[in-house]
Amino acid sequence: MDGMIRRYIHAVDAINRRVGRVVMYGIFVLMGILLWSTASKAILLPSLWTLEMAQFAMVAYYVLGGPYSIQMGTNVRMDLLYGAWSPRRKAWTDLFTILLLMFYLGVLLYGAVASTAYSLGYFGSSPFSFFGALAVGSEDIGVMERSSTPWRAYLWPIKTVMIVGILLMLLQCLSEFLKDVLLLRGKVD
């Protein structure tokens, strides 16, 4: 059982490390978009797409980089008391808080799937049945949602990125939970 847990931890950590290392360069993408926005305004030909694309880039940067941040322990934490605690006490506290975070991420994932289904034109009451409607082809699938800005970008790509990011965050939280369980059982190398 411990071997399977360690393989899961290793696999999830490897995936999130790779994704995080790639996504961390997304800040340069965001800077390039904002630089283009500034330059285009300076020559009196402002681009319509820059503000919304900068928002999309920031969402992708934040959501896909979150699991890597948790893995590295660089997420925001109140260290007033936590920093002085023993590793075992930290593990017990983390077990509780990670469960709360996983519940929150589960609710967020449900909402992201519902929002993505809506953006692809599904207006039914159960968002997960949308995938069945996609498989068989359904008249329930309608017009794809677009933003209300003059650029009128489709919203499903960024909503799909949100689903992937939340799912990776859930997997990383489970990995951290299992690391704490191993630590409390005295099985940490």
Average pLDDT value over all residues in the chain: 88
Look at 179 and 120; give whichever has higher pLDDT. Answer: 179
Q: Would you say the C-alpha torsion 165, 169, 171, 175 has a positive or negative sign?
A: positive
116-152 per-position pLDDT tens digit: 888 887 666 777 676 665 555 555 555 788 888 888 8
pLDDT tops 60 at residue 65: yes
What pLDDT band is residue 73 in, cutting at 50, 70 and 90?
confident
Which residues touch 80 (CB under 8 Å, ≥6 apart)? none
DSSP state of 133: H
Q: Percentage of the chain surpassing pLDDT 90?
A: 61
Phi, psi dihedrals of residue 77, rounded to the nearest 5°: -145, 145
Look at 135 and 50; give whichever has higher pLDDT. Answer: 50
Phi, psi dihedrals of residue 94, rounded to the nearest 5°: -65, -35
Distance CA 173, CA 150 (A): 39
Among 12-26, 57-71, 82-96, 170-184, which is the least confidently predicted range?
82-96
Residue type at position 185: R
Phi, psi dihedrals of residue 154, rounded to the nearest 5°: -70, 140
Enumerate the domain spans of the chain. 2-184
pLDDT tops 90 at residue 2: no
